[in-house]
């Protein structure tokens, strides 16, 4: 996707602070962290939002969730705890239209709901 910020981050055209990478997924530090630990995890394949997840591309979503424990461990929050957040669409405040999951930790905020 030519004009997609996260596709450009995945390709290296835009620099990022990499946390994890493999064939299917890429994780990097959020540029405006909302918690002491804040990473963004994306599939390398372009999916616009959670609305775009299908049986054909859901392997990339599974790959993200399979790697979340290792990424949380790498970031030092696997035992203290963390939150996984996906914002889908305008009402949820999604600003980058490439499916991504926020990993937020390092605070003792408890539940949000
Ligand atoms: P969302 O608002 O859920 O769509 O999340 C998009 C996230 O991308 C926000 O938390 C931004 O701070 C983050 N972001 C935007 N540009 C960059 C960048 N160049 N590097 C790292 N994170 C970014
Ligand atoms: Zn993209």
pLDDT digits 0-9 by tens, 44-54: 999 999 999 99
pLDDT digits 0-9 by tens, 20-31: 999 999 999 999
| Residue located nearest, by CA, to atom 12 of ligand 1 | 32
Task: Give the largest Cα separation in the chain, rounded.
Answer: 39
pLDDT of 1 over the 80 cut: no
Is 38 in the active site? Answer: no
* Residue 72: Cβ within 10 Å count: 20
Q: How far apart are CA 75 and CA 15, in angstroms?
A: 19
| Residue located nearest, by CA, to atom 13 of ligand 1 | 30
Please, what is the end-to-end C-alpha distance for the chain in angstroms? 35
Q: What is the pLDDT of residue 33?
A: 98
Nearest to 26 by CA among 97, 99, 106: 99
pLDDT of 2 over the 80 cut: no
* Res. 75 pLDDT band, cuts 50 70 90: very high
Query: CA angle, 68 as apex, 103 and 37 as ends, to 5°?
Result: 30
């Amino acid at each position: 996707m030519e004009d997609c910020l996260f596709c450009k981050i995945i390709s290296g055209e835009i620099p990022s602070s990499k946390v994890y990478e493999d064939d299917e997924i890429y994780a990097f530090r959020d540029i405006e962290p909302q918690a002491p630990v804040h990473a963004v995890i994306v599939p390398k394949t372009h999916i616009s939002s959670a609305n775009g997840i299908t049986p054909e591309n859901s392997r990339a979503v599974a790959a993200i969730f399979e790697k979340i424990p290792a990424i949380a461990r790498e970031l030092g929050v696997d035992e203290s705890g963390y939150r996984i957040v996906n914002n889908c669409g305008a009402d949820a405040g999604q600003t980058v239209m490439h499916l991504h999951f926020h990993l937020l930790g390092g605070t003792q905020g408890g539940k949000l709901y």
